[in-house]
Structure 1
Amino acid sequence: MDEITFHTRLHRPGTLLDVGAHDGLITRPFAALRDSRVVAFEPAPPAFARLEAAFAPAPPPHVTLVPEALGDTLGSITLAMPVLDGVAQEQWASTAKTYAGFDPARVAVRKWQVPIRPLDSLALTDLTHIKLDCEGAEYEVLRGARETLIRCRPYLTIEIEERHRLGSTWSVPAYLDALGYETYFELDGAWQPMAALDRATMQRASPDPSVFEASDPYVFVFYVFPRECTEQALQRLIR
């Protein structure tokens, strides 16, 4: 199941967050959902320019585009993006990685200082859905969203990859578990709890942007439910 289908089937009126919006692949369908307000965060300047262009001449009143990163601090942070053989790898842009130590003949690094804030600073009261894609910074984003997660109980989809941060497939679900959330993944049409993830065969990939190899299957999108809603939500998804 893709992330758009997941959020669409479980849609509840309220605010939806697209964290790591890139050029709006999920922001746009979020905006089409009934009774939705969408806030899209994208700190990489080239990607944010395309995100704005996707809603030109201006986004509708219920869509807010924010050129900032989310995390657990308020201020600024370095966003690093690898450039492989002269080609920008925007999908790897990260506030959690420096991309130092790889072959300098192939991998250059472009950096920006970007604004960062905790999600809790928005004081949202109607957050219903979060899509999170931040290349290794998931833990900081969620730590900065602690009070909002407790208060609003949104559904989440999160990309978590060991290649971007060792131990993240353990630490992120554990943090969410402590807040009353359950993490699942889907494989071959079946929903599996996080405990079923075999990292050696389902999460093997190189952290080097110049090395294109990964396990088959490669499971990196995870679906997160408030514990009190898990059973009912899974019944809505399995149909």
Structure 2
Amino acid sequence: MTLAARLAPHVPPRVLATATDLLYPRFEPELGRLDDFCTRGGTAVDIGGWFGPWTRRMAERADRVVTVEPVPHLARRLRATTPPHVEVLQAAATDHAGTATLWLPPDGRGDRGVSSLVRRDVHETTVDVPCLRLDELALRDVSLVKIDVDGSELAVLRGAEETVVRERPALFIELEARIQPLEPVLDLLDAHGYTGWVLPAQDWLPLADFDLTAHQARTSHVAEDGLLRRTLAPHRRYVNSVLFLPRGRRPGA
């Protein structure tokens, strides 16, 4: 367990929220560049809310934020630390309704942010959670959908296809070759007319010009570091998220 995960249960929710909001843009610098791909107003969606750094930053720009977080105590924390125009749904986003088995680390809490519907070697305990298709929510004026679900990205996208086709939002998706092959997600989004972009340094690069799988293989040791360690050494970059925009649109344009 990382140091941040060990400390989290003992920190008051609002103190933890403030600390997370300050640190996270150093851990995931794309969050600090939200202006490049998230228009103001409308609806933003955060799938995999965790402690809420994306949710709260989205709430500064969007008229409405819908956050989907399956871990019960994390959903409760989000409700306690987000403004009134944020709706927190305690559920797992996937491609079907009903219930699903959520896999968690041995501590059974999910504070590390690695809970998933797809079992990995970091998982040991389970909890049954409600699940939903994003399309069920019939959201309108959607500007951004952020997806961080540790392995079930394709299922989330299949459950959101109607929304993606109708709304054409920016999609910010965590993709890791060590968890799942990248090609199914890339092929699906290419078929929907989306182009991928990554931010390995200061400038956005087309995903086509950046070998994400090779980069992740080279820097996989960085992925094992927790939030605190990686924010203290931001030059140790591990790119694990891709911004997808409708073809013809560029970040910052």
Same fold (TM over 0.5): yes
Q: Does 1:123 align with 2:134?
A: no
More off after superposition, 175-184 vs 107-116: 107-116
- The DSSP-based 3-state class of the residue aligned with 1:203 is helix
Pairing 1:54-73 to 2, within 5 Å after superposition: 54-55=81-82, 59-60=83-84, 62-73=85-96
- The DSSP-based 3-state class of the residue aligned with 2:73 is helix
**Deviation of residue 192 (structure 1)?**
2.0
Q: Does 1:14 align with 2:42?
A: yes
Counterpart amino acid of residue 150 in structure 2: E
More off after superposition, 35-44 vs 133-142: 35-44
- Equivalent in the alignment of 2:193: 180
Distance (whole Å) between structure 1 residues aligned to residue 165 and residue 110 of structure 2: 37
Distance (whole Å) between structure 1 residues aligned to residue 64 and residue 110 of structure 2: 31
Counterpart amino acid of residue 205 in structure 2: Q
Q: Measured at CA, do residues 163 and 37 of structure 1 come closer, stay the same or move farther in structure 2, by a change above 3 Å?
A: same
> Over aligned residue pairs, what C-alpha RMSD do you find?
2.7
Q: Measured at CA, do residues 200 and 5 of structure 1 come closer, stay the same or move farther in structure 2, by a change above 3 Å?
A: closer
Structure 2: 5+ residue stretches without partners: 1-27, 226-235
Report the number of matched residues: 214
Sequence identity (%) = 35
Counterpart amino acid of residue 60 in structure 2: A
Q: Measured at CA, do residues 156 and 6 of structure 1 come closer, stay the same or move farther in structure 2, by a change above 3 Å?
A: farther
Q: Measured at CA, do residues 27 and 235 of structure 1 come closer, stay the same or move farther in structure 2, by a change above 3 Å?
A: closer
Counterpart amino acid of residue 88 in structure 2: L
Flag the structure with higher helix content.
Answer: 2
Q: Does 1:25 align with 2:53?
A: yes
Pairing 1:124-203 to 2, within 5 Å after superposition: 124-165=139-180, 167=181, 169-199=182-212, 201-203=214-216
Distance (whole Å) between structure 1 residues aligned to residue 110 and residue 138 of structure 2: 35
Counterpart amino acid of residue 196 in structure 1: D
Distance (whole Å) between structure 1 residues aligned to residue 131 and residue 110 of structure 2: 22
- The DSSP-based 3-state class of the residue aligned with 2:154 is helix
Distance (whole Å) between structure 1 residues aligned to residue 43 and residue 110 of structure 2: 32
Per-residue deviation, residues 34-70 of structure 1 (Å, max 9, x unmatched): x520001100122222212213xxx41x211100111
**Deviation of residue 220 (structure 1)?**
0.6
TM-score between the two structures when normalised by the length of structure 2: 0.75
TM-score between the two structures when normalised by the length of structure 1: 0.79
Q: Measured at CA, do residues 90 and 46 of structure 1 come closer, stay the same or move farther in structure 2, by a change above 3 Å?
A: farther
Counterpart amino acid of residue 26 in structure 1: W
Distance (whole Å) between structure 2 residues aligned to residue 91 and residue 161 of structure 1: 14
Distance (whole Å) between structure 2 residues aligned to residue 164 and residue 75 of structure 1: 25
Flag the structure with higher strand content.
Answer: 1
- The DSSP-based 3-state class of the residue aligned with 2:204 is strand
Q: Does 1:47 align with 2:78?
A: no
Counterpart amino acid of residue 64 in structure 1: E
Residues 202 and 217 in structure 1, CA contact (< 8 A), matched pair in contact too = no
**Deviation of residue 149 (structure 1)?**
0.4
**Deviation of residue 5 (structure 1)?**
3.4
Distance (whole Å) between structure 1 residues aligned to residue 162 and residue 201 of structure 2: 35
Structure 1: 5+ residue stretches without partners: 211-215
Counterpart amino acid of residue 51 in structure 1: L
**Deviation of residue 235 (structure 1)?**
4.6
- Equivalent in the alignment of 1:213: none
Residues 77 and 113 in structure 1, CA contact (< 8 A), matched pair in contact too = yes
